Structure 1
Amino acid sequence: MIRYGSLLLALSILFLLSACASKSLEQKTINAADKVRIPTSFEQLTFKSEGRTVFEDEGKFILIEGNKCTQRDSGSEAATVLQWIELPNYVDSGTVILNGWDMRFLHGDREVNTMSADITHSKIVKNEGSTFLVFEAQGKLSDQNRKDAYEFCVFYTAFGYRSVLFDAVIEGDYNGIEAAALQNKNQGALATLENTASRGTLKGNAAIAIIPRGFDFQFDNAFECELGFPPCKWADRTDYRLLQLAYNLSQSSTTPSLDGSLHWATQTVFKDNGTRTYRIRTRTAMILGNSVKLRADFLALNPRAGKTATCSKNVDGVVRTQTFRINDLSFDYAVPLLTGWDLSYECEHQQVQRAGIWLHDIRFDPDSSSLEYKVSSILRDSDGVPSFNTAQRITVLGLNRRIDTPIQRSAPVNIKIRE
């Protein structure tokens, strides 16, 4: 049973999150036109997460997945999800992963100015025998005017463990590690953001894994005048039809460089038929230690050139789902990370009604050392024509228990032998 004092402490911590928004709306129906009363941030936190326990090795490790949706009346403010998950008491370390997102305009399709999905804060809270993972996620979908209602859904995977059994430390957990850049159109559509952090030399077989936390894409302001009132200004926001939206988080190595520094990079694409200047911001966290292992996949981002010569214009306005299975994993526990994705329209740029990609239905079987999961994706305008292309990159984070874990032994029995 949850102790109210511990729960209130967890809620208070989330209440202090700097990016906390004051308005959010729990999803009722996808196309609901009627407004409902927007719950306060505290009211959001009174609802327990509906996360599903994927796997648990009692006393050692737990893996949870879930999702939550919220709506906003306009794109002038980000949609915020405040979430808390109750964890077993043996958990004293853990974090949350952004493993997918799904966003849509609620009334038709639009050109886009901003698209973002970001887990801004995360924290493990322990008090009076209770343990919680609390986090905040923000998403945004807007056009030039930012007046259209939209829905944002975050898909997350959380894991927790008893730290004495693992040589694994999570860093950058609360605020994440941010990187930002302005990609000028003269530099091309493919942007690269590099992160370097100083950690010192890791010992033994220690490795590092970078955890995806979020992205924020926004077309830079440029003069674009559309008929309307009031008259447009030079500094007005711009929006464009979308051809391609892509993200790829990669690390050059699982170990530090010779000087002990850590390095990883994120590549992005955000474009219409042409190449536009856009702003990028990304967020990550990291886990490192001798218990950390990594099985990386590959995804090459190639910016689309624009309208193709041949185009079938098939109708495909539904969610596309694929099932994947990995066998013979040499890990005690495995956590899939959505570290890359590429969504693009089949023919040329279109307006956007819905876009998203998410990892779900995770199944880990330690007996067969196998991991199974599904990836769903969608990119469509109002009529679902043309179809879309999708690709993803899944990195498997492995965790192995320490082999030098102290074993509790009974106290020695002293026997005195009479001389």
Structure 2
Amino acid sequence: MIRYGYMLLALFILLVLPACASNYKEQKASNSTNKIKAPTSFEQLTFKSEGRTVFEDEGKFILIEGSKCVQHDSGEETATVLQWIELPSYVDRGTVVLNGWDLRFLHGDREVNSMLADITHSKVIKSEGSTFLVFEAQGRLNDQNRKDAYEFCVFYSGFGFRSVFFDATIEDDYNGVEVSTLQDKNQGALATLENTGSRGTLKGNATIAIIPRGFDFQFDDTFECEWRFPPCKWGDRVDYRLLQAAYSLSQSGMFPSLDGSPHWAVQTLFKDNSTRTYRIKARAAMIRGTSVKLRADFLALNSRTGKTDICRKNVDGIVRTQTFRIRDLPFDYAVPLLTGWDLSYECEQQQVQRAGIWLHDIHFDSNSRSLEYKVSSILRDKDGVPSFSVAQRITVLGLNQTRTSVQSNRAPVNIKIREH
């Protein structure tokens, strides 16, 4: 117990102190009656993650998945989730993937000003024979008034490995790499954010894989008139009904430029029936090396406009789940990454009660090198009419042992599945 006490103190210092000021505001707001009391950062760190071990090759590699939800009494503050996952002691490198999100207003539906799901920090900590993966996730759903209670759920996959068996280095893990832009409505609804890494990052046969960490969509402040007092205001926060929200991460790590610099891009859509000016941020981390492999898949985004003549008017509004299987992967170990999603109402713009998409129930069989997973999604207003359309893309991150490590380790693979 003493050891865990020191560990919690260390995690608190590393990840929590920068958020102290905002957490103090949250505590003040939540002290009033009939309001949701969001757990403090330290309170969250006192409980270990309930993540599930998907796959473990003991002594070499482990893959874990999990989720965590937190409620907030208003959209004025961003919801923060702090998680720590205990990893086997052999792990000396690891990271976390944003593999889904779920946002919902707790009381009815609203027009939308902003949507956020973002893993802002991640770190592997080793101390006194123990290893922990610690990360911070933030989420937000609000309208222009930012007074409505909401819930944010983050879905994640964490993996760790012993570096002696792999040529794989995780880059920009703690803060990730953030790209942002303002997409003017005159430029069209489809925004493109690009990042080019440092020259010489990729050498020889090395590959780089981009790990999705998050997005932040927000309609830009503008002039708006409504039935209120005062009716019009310059630079006011605005909200709109939602027609479509989409995200697609593409990467060309297998085909670097001549100077060895990797390139990746994110495309987004965030709109109602019309095209609006909106701000976008996206975050990612990277893993590179000759052990890193990719089975990339790209989602082409197409902007929808206005009302369609063909749409279902029946009540839907339920979580939709699909199961996917991939066989004969040329990888020793595989991690699925949710790199593309497109959520839209079937008919036309609607208010939002709940929106989300998440990857879960991962199963990897190292003998047949097959991967199975499920993807669930939801987009609805308060009555669930009309239904919604969804598309998604999964990129598979592969890790292969180096030839040297395979030749020096003749022992049979010891596969162990365990629950946290």
Please tell me the TM-score bracket, short chain as reference: over 0.9
What residue number does 1:181 align with?
A: 181
Closer, same or farther: CA 377–338 of 1 in aligned 2, 3 Å: same
Normalised to the residue count of structure 2, the TM-score between the two structures is 0.92
More helix by share: 2
Matched to 2:381, the amino acid is D
1:18-417 mapped onto 2 (5 Å cutoff): 21-22=22-23, 35-200=35-200, 202-229=202-229, 232-405=232-405, 407=408
1:224 counterpart SS class? strand
Q: CA deviation at 1:77?
A: 1.0
Q: Could you tell me how far 1:313 is from its partner in structure 2?
A: 1.7
CA distance change for structure 1 residues 83 and 339 in 2, over 3 Å: closer, same or farther? same
Deviation at 1:300, TM superposition (A): 1.1
Task: Summarize the Cα distance change of 1:19–1:395 in structure 2 as closer, same or farther, 3 Å threshold.
Answer: farther
The sequence identity of aligned pairs, in percent, is 76
Instruction: Count how many residue pairs are aligned between Structure 1 and Structure 2.
Output: 402
Instruction: Flag the 1:194–1:308 CA change in 2: closer, same or farther, 3 A.
Output: same
Q: Does 1:5 align with 2:6?
A: yes
Name the amino acid aligned to 2:13: S
**1:38–1:248 Cα change, 3 Å:** closer
Distance 1:43 1:300, change over 3 A: same
Structure 1 residue 202: Cα displacement: 2.9
Give the match's secondary structure for 2:12. helix
Which 10-residue stretch deviates more, 331-340 or 41-50? 41-50
User: Cα distance 1:133–1:24, how it changes in 2: closer, same or farther (>3 A)?
Assistant: farther
- Letter matched to residue 322 of structure 1: Q
1:313–1:346 CA contact under 8 A, matched in 2: no
How far the C-alpha of 1:9 sits from its partner, in A, is 1.6
Deviations 1:17-56 (A, max 9, x none): 458841779xxxxxxx954543321111101101110000
* Contact 1:78 1:139 survives alignment (8 Å): yes
Flag the 1:366–1:227 CA change in 2: closer, same or farther, 3 A.
same
Which of 1 and 2 has greater Rg? 1
CA distance in 2, matches of 1:318, 1:264: 34
Contact 1:6 1:126 in 2 (8 A): no
**Deviation for aligned residue 1:62:** 0.4
- Superposition TM-score, scaled by structure 1 size: 0.92
Structure 1: gaps of 5 or more residues: 26-32, 410-419
CA distance in 2, matches of 1:300, 1:77: 33
8 Å contact from structure 1 (residues 167, 290) kept in 2:
yes
Secondary structure of the equivalent of 1:15?
helix
| Residues 36 and 73 in structure 2, CA contact (< 8 A), matched pair in contact too | no
Secondary structure in structure 2 of the residue aligned to 1:233: strand
Residue by residue, what CA displacement relative to the aligned partner does 1:219-262 show, whole Å, maximum 9, x if unpaired?
A: 00111122334655211100000000000000134242102211
Give SS of 2:293's match: strand
Structure 1 residues 20, 130: CA separation in 2 closer, same or farther (over 3 Å shift)? farther
Moved more, 250-259 or 286-295: 250-259
Contact 2:168 2:292 in 1 (8 A): yes
Tell me the distance in 2 between the aligned counterparts of 1:37 and 1:267: 36
Please report how far the alpha carbon of residue 5 of structure 1 lies from its aligned counterpart in structure 2 after TM superposition: 2.3
